[in-house]
């Protein structure tokens, strides 16, 4: 086996392997730390050199969109007010029409009652007139019969 002598200390095979492993681990750790530190410094420079992008165009667009939304909201409010007004007018017209229809129904019912009553009265009066005419005709016939009888019984009327 190999032996190494460092500062009067002798190292044999297994110990050499452990020392080499420790040394390579320390060198790898130092290398990794250096890389991280270098990345940190690069990132620090980038952060310090960073300038915020100009978003004023977006701000202007957002302002325009907000103005349009406010305008549309105002128009919708006006439209809703008009719709409410039209609905109120329609409701009022419906109520007026309903009351007019009820009033007309009442008038029609009154007219129907009057027509029925007049029809009954006319029928009654017609029967009375017909009866009066029949009575008058009977009286007239009796009167004519009486005159004819008198005329026939009259001795002067017998002409030969």
Domain boundaries, the chain: 1-39, 60-151
pLDDT at 143: 94
pLDDT at 158: 64
4: which strand partners?
Answer: 11
Q: CB under 8 Å to 5, separation ≥6 — which residues?
A: 11
pLDDT at 58: 81
DSSP H/E element including 11 = strand 9-12
User: Mean pLDDT per segment of 10 residues, for the chain of length 160 residues?
Assistant: 71 76 92 95 90 80 89 89 93 94 94 93 94 95 91 71
- The span from the CA of 142 to the CA of 123, in Å, is 28
């Amino acid at each position: 086996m190999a032996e190494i002598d460092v500062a009067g200390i002798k190292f044999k095979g297994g110990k050499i392997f452990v020392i080499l492993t420790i040394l390579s681990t320390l060198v790898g750790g130092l290398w990794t730390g250096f890389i991280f530190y270098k990345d940190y410094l690069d990132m620090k420079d980038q952060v310090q050199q960073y300038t915020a992008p100009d978003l004023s165009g977006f701000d202007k667009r957002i302002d325009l969109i907000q103005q349009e939304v406010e305008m549309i909201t105002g128009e919708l409010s006006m439209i809703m007010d008009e719709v409410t007004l039209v609905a109120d007018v329609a409701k009022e017209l419906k109520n007026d029409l309903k009351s007019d229809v009820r009033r007309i129904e009442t008038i029609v019912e009154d007219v129907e009652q009057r027509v029925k009553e007049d029809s009954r009265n006319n029928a009654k009066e017609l029967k009375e007139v017909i009866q009066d005419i029949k009575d008058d005709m009977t009286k007239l016939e009796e009167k004519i019969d009486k005159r004819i009888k008198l005329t026939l019984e009259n001795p002067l009327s017998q002409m030969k």
